[in-house]
Amino acid sequence: MLSKIHKLETVAKELDPCVEKRQIWAKQVIKHSEEFMETLNTDKSKAFNKTEHNGNQLLYSLIKEEPTPMENLLELFRHNVERNGLVESHGGHMAYVNSGGLYPSSLADYLSDVVNPYSAMFHDSPGSVRIENMVLKWIAACFGYPDSFAGNLTSGGSASTVLALAAARDSRNIKARDFNKCVVYTTTLSHYCAEKALNTIGMREVVRRTIAVDSNYKMDVDILRETVKKDIEAGLIPFVVYTTAGTTDLGSVDPLETIAGISREFNIWMHVDACYGGFFILSEEATHLFKGIEKSDSFCVDPHKSLFIPYGCGAVLVKEGSKLAYSNALNRPAFYLEDSFKDECQDEPSPCNLSFELSRHFRGLRVWMPLKLFGIRPFRSALGEKILLARYFYDRLSETDGFQLGPYPELSVVVFRFIKCPCDTETFNKELLEQLMKDGRIALASTRINGVYYLRICILCFRTHLKEMDLLIKLISVNVKKMLKAISVKPWEQQEQYVRG
């Protein structure tokens, strides 16, 4: 047996490379990442790369018994991942709600992965738990939550919403027999993670009311009030009002102050989805929009959106922290954790007691390090800049003949479409989007407002500046003119041009 152990140990030690090999690999990776970041600032750089292979080169590089050199792996990564599809860290990426990926966060993740602290429990890693709790306390202060709150850094908005709605369920002592009587109030602009979260926590049977939005695309509070009254009269249980501070489609913010009053009046849990828009509260251009969020029962906000942190970091905060703790409490002791639990610190709650996660990534460092390195001021400026860039784009396009725009941007989302075309408007705008994505320097998306097809931009990357907005305006103008010219050419003229070509 000893002979076999020694033999296995010799091979197993390859997993713990020497300092020389570590340094070689580190230099190769850093050189590669620096080249990538430098190309983001070039004029030929693209926010969207469409390839025919769609990353299938990876399929021909199977995981085998023998090792593969680092340089080969980096080349596979370059061609199949970073140069294929959307480039999230590119200043021209305005599709969906992106994550810019602050560089200090990558350094924080490197440290987190090398040291690999067990950040779930205070006993095992008090420093990492303190950092996560410091980040959560800072977030709570930004949104006006009291010291009695409890929170958790999650993988993102979906996990955060599961925790918030589970806490709402348990705080009301709602049992399975009551699920079909409970009512959740959303709007047509609410994020679909709410639907998924209800299913995940076993409440698929709840009654789901879609409250209409007003002319500003915010939850209509008068309709909400009347709907709640009718549900009570019908013997139903008004359960959760799911509000949004920054809708994905339009960036609109629901009237939080008024909804908070209705929620208190009828004893309904008020949750705020601030995943995209939440940290705009730091900018003077948007602070007033969030009045009333401090009166909510819970809210979710994603550092990996409006705080520019890389993907994989959301946050949920519950005003009465004991409710989040109760919802995630152990019903029986875990005997192998007896030593860890006996050293619990009252002032530093362990993340594992406030979430369904046990083993988890140390997410706090990727938020804490950039905030400490940069200070808050550049974050405030960047967020204010994004709002003003959205309004700049809106104003410029509204001055251009033929465009119809959605509501004036409260945050950093703008929707628009070209309507003066001699063909089907939706078809024309779909083609316009396709042409812009073929160019690839700016990436956009589409959405539907009241069933109508619009092009949509969300300005959120910290690398997006005035240069990118002017380029987008130019690309839109050039492509619209080109498309209109192509439509105006008669079929025989197209054939004649083809023959001459």
Tokens of 485: 């010219």
H helices of 242-376, where? 256-266, 303-306, 321-327, 338-342, 364-374
Domain count, the chain: 2
Tokens 């049992």 locate to 175
Note whether 239 and 332 are same-domain residues.
Answer: yes
pLDDT computed for residue 496 by the predictor: 42
Beta bridge mates, 185: 209, 241
Q: How far is CA 451 from CA 319, 354, 426, 446, 447, in A?
A: 37, 40, 11, 12, 9
CA nearest to 142, candidates 313, 282, 256, 299: 282
Note whether 461 and 355 are same-domain residues.
Answer: no
| Domain contains 147 | yes
Note whether 413 and 344 are same-domain residues.
Answer: no
Note whether 321 and 413 are same-domain residues.
Answer: no
425: phi then psi, degrees, rounded to nearest 5: -65, -45
Note whether 180 and 278 are same-domain residues.
Answer: yes
pLDDT computed for residue 499 by the predictor: 34
Choose the final residue of a domain: 374, 406, 424.
Answer: 374
Note whether 428 and 357 are same-domain residues.
Answer: no
Q: How far is CA 273 from CA 63, 149, 153, 266, 443, in A?
A: 41, 17, 15, 20, 25
CA distance 305 to 301: 8
What is this structure's pTM? Answer: 0.93
Contacts of 459 by beta carbon, 8 Å cutoff, 6+ apart: 94, 386, 389, 390, 393, 412, 413, 414, 469
Note whether 131 and 218 are same-domain residues.
Answer: yes
Note whether 143 and 247 are same-domain residues.
Answer: yes
Tokens 């047996």 locate to 1
- Residues 184 and 174: beta-carbon distance below 8 Å: no
Is the alpha carbon torsion for 368, 372, 374, 379 positive or negative?
A: positive
- The predicted-structure confidence for 173-209, as pLDDT tens digits, reads as follows 999 999 999 999 999 999 999 999 999 999 999 999 9
Note whether 129 and 199 are same-domain residues.
Answer: yes
Torsion on CA atoms 340, 342, 347, 349, rounded to nearest 10: 40
Strand pairing report for 314-318 and 182-187: unpaired
Tokens of 399: 């001055």
Helix (H) or strand (E) holding 436: helix 425-439
Q: How far is CA 374 from CA 20, 39, 369, in A?
A: 32, 23, 8
Choose the final residue of a domain: 332, 351, 374.
Answer: 374
Note whether 335 and 453 are same-domain residues.
Answer: no
Q: In what order do the strands lie in the sheet with 269-273?
A: 150-154, 314-318, 298-301, 269-273, 237-244, 182-187, 207-211
Residue 312 gets the label, from left (phi > 0), alpha (psi -120 to 50) or beta, of: left
pLDDT computed for residue 270 by the predictor: 98
pLDDT computed for residue 333 by the predictor: 64
Strands (E), 42-104: 48-49, 85-86
pLDDT computed for residue 500 by the predictor: 36
Tokens of 119: 């950040």
Print pLDDT tens along the chain (501 aa).
999 999 999 999 999 999 999 999 999 999 999 999 998 878 788 999 988 888 898 999 999 999 999 999 999 999 999 988 888 899 999 998 988 899 999 999 999 999 999 999 999 999 999 999 999 999 999 999 999 999 999 999 999 999 999 999 999 999 999 999 999 999 999 999 999 999 999 999 999 999 999 999 999 999 999 999 999 999 999 999 999 999 999 999 999 999 999 999 999 999 999 999 999 999 999 999 999 999 999 999 999 999 999 999 999 999 999 999 999 987 766 776 667 666 667 789 999 999 999 899 999 999 999 999 999 999 999 999 999 999 999 999 999 999 999 999 999 999 999 999 889 999 999 999 999 999 999 999 999 999 999 999 999 999 999 999 999 999 999 999 999 998 875 544 444 433 333
Choose the final residue of a domain: 326, 358, 374.
Answer: 374
- Residues 160 and 328: beta-carbon distance below 8 Å: no
The domain in which residue 349 lies consists of: 110-374
Tokens of 53: 């292979």
Q: What is the largest CA-CA distance in the chain?
A: 86
